[in-house]
Amino acid sequence: MTEAEKKKELVSIFFEKGILLNPDVIDTIPNNLDFEMIIEVLSSLRQEDLAVINNELMKAIENKNADFNWDDLARSRVDYEKNRDDKVYNSFVSYIKNSAQVSPPPPKEIANTSQESQSLENSEKLPAAVEEAQKPGISVVSSYQQDSKKRDIQDFVAFFNHRYKALEKLLRNRHEMRGLLSTSRVKMKKDKENVSVIGMVFEKHLTKNGNIMLTVEDPSGTIKVLVNKNKPELYEKASSIVEDEVIGIVGVGAGNIIFSTNIVWPEIPLNRPVKKASDEVYAVFVSDFHVGSDHFLEEEFNKFIDWISAKTGNEEQRRIASKVKYLFIVGDLVDGCGIYPGQEDELVIRDIYKQYEVSAEYLRRIPSNIQIVICPGNHDAMRIAEPQPELYKDFASAVWELPNVTMVSNPAVVNIHSSPGFPGFDVLLYHGYSFDYYVENVEHLRNNGGYKRADLIMKFLLRRRHLAPTHKSTLYIPDAESDPLVISTIPDFFVTGHIHYSIAASYHNVTTICCSCWQEKTPFQEKVGHEPQPARVPIVNLNTRKVKILKFGK
């Protein structure tokens, strides 16, 4: 078939589907036209929304990642052609171009998790670890592997675009979001009408009358959202909204403002089944050893190491220890060096290599049939910006050399205990550096236990499907290919540390566990009023999913 015949054939294929090609498209169809790709994309589109395809639409079709409301786009094109309004259409065109620029490369995949696929598309997952040999019962689902490099402003733009698109996908199919429109379409409405939009929170403030006013942004622009104080339930929901999170807004649109009637978070679906292993086997969760600190609790930590080695405790305690198969360490293995001014005065080991060697000596005493999974924390010897890569081999070589250790990034997802016919459990590890920001800035977290209720902070993040939704809540790497802090895989266990106070709970069948620590209260914690609760160890029977917290304190 000649190129001219191909083009003619293409015009008739589109025509049969009720779509007319604008002359500008026909003129610019490349000679090396990928016929099959266009037909494949065509069949995946909601053709009923398309009447005429012009050049910009063609670009969008070619770029499968440009995900938006086709209906809005087609209408805005009509407005544009009739000289009624060009803003909306131009916004779409720039969004399409931008989407093309930030399209992620094909994902690298290794270990699959058989977790039901509530996960986002693979493009939003962390690149998976491929280097280390897989340990028995352990499969790394996602662990950040990108090398450090200089970032520029475009990386931030791409990063936030990825976040928006990932969370927008979760929200757009929710039944509450019927009649979803872009913010620019809402602004064009002259009469009051029920609308819903998905936006990233750009700003939030209280009006003179005590109502909450939000400004939310989507790829087509921004719009104001008013939450009236006379709707107490909604007002309470809106009170916990933080900057930069992506939310669904339902309400009555009228010009430049939406009067909100509901707020929708990306959420963890209800009624997910609780997976249980067929055998009695335990997973144990610890963090924040702070080896090297003069407040490190050596005696208590030795007791823990002796217990997990089934050397101490009563008969039942030793029996449980003998059934431990997985140990998770969620960051801050060492106290580090130069983490805060004057730290050297509070260190008994000032050499960072030695701190890791001592950590490794403890871990070496643990039976080698127990698989240990380690992610870093903010005291470990590496960059603090998240995602933090695996512990650096040159500083922590003694830990790396242990035969039963799997190193992952912070955050990371690890699948454990899968077997033929059983998908295993997905464990999301996150050290918890963003927790400080939310305890300080979200009133309902601050007033309901603060640092003592990590379960509420974890629920707050799970609902938002993001580990640090607010720009200011953590230091982060603006990855141009994805936002690795999006909670794309719904975990069976969400495990954190950092705040030195252990608690376990469950949210929509995700078991949330915050680990304790092995450092007694420091002068800094005394000064800021933190009350750590060290030497507690949450353990989970994977057969029953019951969590117990063991105490190794005096």
Tokens of 180: 């979803």
What residues line the site for Fe ion (CB under 5 A)? 288, 332, 377-378, 498
- Residue placing its CB nearer to Fe ion in the complex, 211 or 473: 473
CB of 474 to Fe ion, least distance (A): 11
**Residue 538 corresponds to which amino acid?**
P
- Residue placing its CB nearer to Fe ion in the complex, 218 or 332: 332
- Residue placing its CB nearer to Fe ion in the complex, 260 or 512: 512
- Bond into 491 cis (ω within 30): no
CB of 289 to Fe ion, least distance (A): 9
- Residue placing its CB nearer to Fe ion in the complex, 56 or 332: 332
Q: Which backbone phi and psi does 135 adopt, to 5 degrees?
A: -95, 155
- Residue placing its CB nearer to Fe ion in the complex, 41 or 384: 384
- Residue placing its CB nearer to Fe ion in the complex, 177 or 399: 399
CB of 499 to Fe ion, least distance (A): 8
- Residue placing its CB nearer to Fe ion in the complex, 158 or 291: 291
According to DSSP H, which parts of 102-228 are helical? 153-172, 183-188
- 256 contacts: CB under 8 Å, gap ≥ 6: 187, 223, 224
CB of 32 to Fe ion, least distance (A): 54
CB of 81 to Fe ion, least distance (A): 57
According to DSSP H, which parts of 63-145 are helical? 70-81, 87-101
Whole-Å CA distances, 134 to 69, 110, 328, 365: 43, 11, 16, 21
Tokens of 391: 């512990």
Cα–Cα distance measured from residue 304 to residue 317, given in angstroms and rounded to the nearest whole number: 12
- Residue placing its CB nearer to Fe ion in the complex, 225 or 334: 334
CB of 190 to Fe ion, least distance (A): 53
Burial class (CB in 10 A: 0-12, 13-18, 19+), 309: middle
- 27 contacts: CB under 8 Å, gap ≥ 6: none
CB of 534 to Fe ion, least distance (A): 10
CB of 377 to Fe ion, least distance (A): 4
Tokens of 363: 């871990």
Cα–Cα distance measured from residue 276 to residue 463, given in angstroms and rounded to the nearest whole number: 23
Cα–Cα distance measured from residue 122 to residue 494, given in angstroms and rounded to the nearest whole number: 20
Find tokens 């929509």 and name the residue.
Answer: 508
Cα–Cα distance measured from residue 249 to residue 260, given in angstroms and rounded to the nearest whole number: 7
User: Are β-strands 324-330 and 371-375 bridged in parallel, bridged antiparallel, or unpaired?
Assistant: parallel
> Looking at residue 203, what DSSP letter applies?
E
CB of 519 to Fe ion, least distance (A): 7
- Residue placing its CB nearer to Fe ion in the complex, 498 or 536: 498
- Residue placing its CB nearer to Fe ion in the complex, 293 or 418: 293
CB of 335 to Fe ion, least distance (A): 8
- Residue placing its CB nearer to Fe ion in the complex, 9 or 298: 298
Query: b vs e for 455-468, b when ≥16 Cβ sit within 10 Å of the residue's Cβ?
Result: bbbbbbbbbbbbbb
DSSP of 199-250: EEEEEEEE-TTS-EEEEEEETTEEEEEEE-TT-HHHHHHHHT--TT-EEEEE
CB of 59 to Fe ion, least distance (A): 46
Cα–Cα distance measured from residue 406 to residue 402, given in angstroms and rounded to the nearest whole number: 9
CB of 174 to Fe ion, least distance (A): 35
- Residue placing its CB nearer to Fe ion in the complex, 332 or 492: 332
Tokens of 387: 């995602």
CB of 500 to Fe ion, least distance (A): 6
Burial class (CB in 10 A: 0-12, 13-18, 19+), 26: middle
- Residue placing its CB nearer to Fe ion in the complex, 127 or 450: 450
Number of H-type helices and E-type strands within the chain: 17, 19
User: Are β-strands 246-254 and 257-264 bridged in parallel, bridged antiparallel, or unpaired?
Assistant: antiparallel
CB 347 within 8 A of CB 292: yes
Structure-derived torsion over alpha carbons of residues 290, 292, 298, 304, reported in degrees to the nearest 10: 40
- Bond into 411 cis (ω within 30): yes
